[in-house]
Amino acid sequence: MSFRIIEKDEEFTYAEFLTIEETCFPKDPYRFEHYKDIQNHFYLVARNKHKAVGYCYTKMHGDALYIHRIAVLDEFRRQGAGKAMMKRTIEHAENCRFSSCMLTVDAVNLPAYELYLKMGFKELQTKFRYSFSVKVFDRAKDVYCVKKGDLNKFDVFFYIEDERVGSCRYSMKVGGCKDFTIKDPANNAFEALSALTASVKHESGKIHVMTDDADVENVLNKLGFENKKVMKEMVFVL
């Protein structure tokens, strides 16, 4: 089957975008704000005849091009659309002199993971994603947090007295933090998350945590946090 891969497809409508999102990511589809955002960055749309069957959305992260989302409708998978978009994205990164292309893939998505390996991506690290209700925390003690950034996206630094014991990057849009690290997780992880929930409020009543620290992951498991996902961060060095 043949596909047209179109850079910054001006005919790509919100209805087409939402169909792909709700089909490919029913539990966590991107919405209108993401659709508007992709138009400010490099993106590709795969079309079969006139139908949008997939898209790839990237952003610049330092000197790397990060692939935030790549999706293809089920009926058009394993027919070359995803691979074609990946190749075009890598070409774009090379032409723009980025140092690498990066992405994160769900570890259970073996077809995608194996495709990236075949294309030359290498695994950088494993990340663990959890979610929990803010109601599990009564109050924060010992650990307090300092936020730096704007109202929607900021860095959080955790302190005990005057000593920094950890950090994370929080986004109100997704209602969670990534790169969560903490010294002595067995003693401090619960208190740090308690301090975090006391200082940020999210409409869903839940907060998501992503970490690449196996000790933090063990603590979150013991605390019974739910919706564990194992993500693989991968890089293609240019």
For the stretch 146-165, pLDDT in tens is 999 988 889 999 999 999 99
Segment 184-188 long-range contacts (CB within 8 Å, at least 24 positions apart): 185/213, 185/215, 185/216, 185/218, 185/219, 186/215, 186/219, 188/142, 188/143, 188/158, 188/160
**How sure is the predictor about 206, in pLDDT bands with cuts at 50, 70 and 90?**
confident
Decide if 178 is inside a domain: yes
CA distances to 8, 25, 29, 88, 210 from 236, rounded to whole Å, are 22, 24, 26, 13, 22
Side by side, the strands of the sheet bearing 51-61 are: 4-7, 43-48, 51-61, 64-72, 100-106, 226-237, 122-133, 206-211, 176-182, 163-171, 153-160, 143-149
Q: Which of 113-117, 150-154, 198-202, 233-237 has the lowest mean pLDDT?
A: 198-202
Residue 92 maps to which CATH number?
3.40.630.30
pTM to 2 decimal places? 0.79
Of the residues 78, 98, 118, the one at which a domain ends: 98
Q: Tell me, yes or no, whether 27 lies in a domain.
A: yes
Residue 44: which domain range?
Answer: 4-98
- pLDDT > 90? residue 204: no
**What value does the mean pLDDT take over residues 121-146?**
87
- Does residue 234 form part of some domain? no
Each residue's pLDDT tens digit, 85-99 = 999 999 999 999 999
Residues 141, 74 within the same domain: no
Please tell me whether residues 88 and 149 are part of one structural domain.
no
* pLDDT confidence tier of residue 46, bands split at 50, 70 and 90: very high
Domain count, the chain: 2
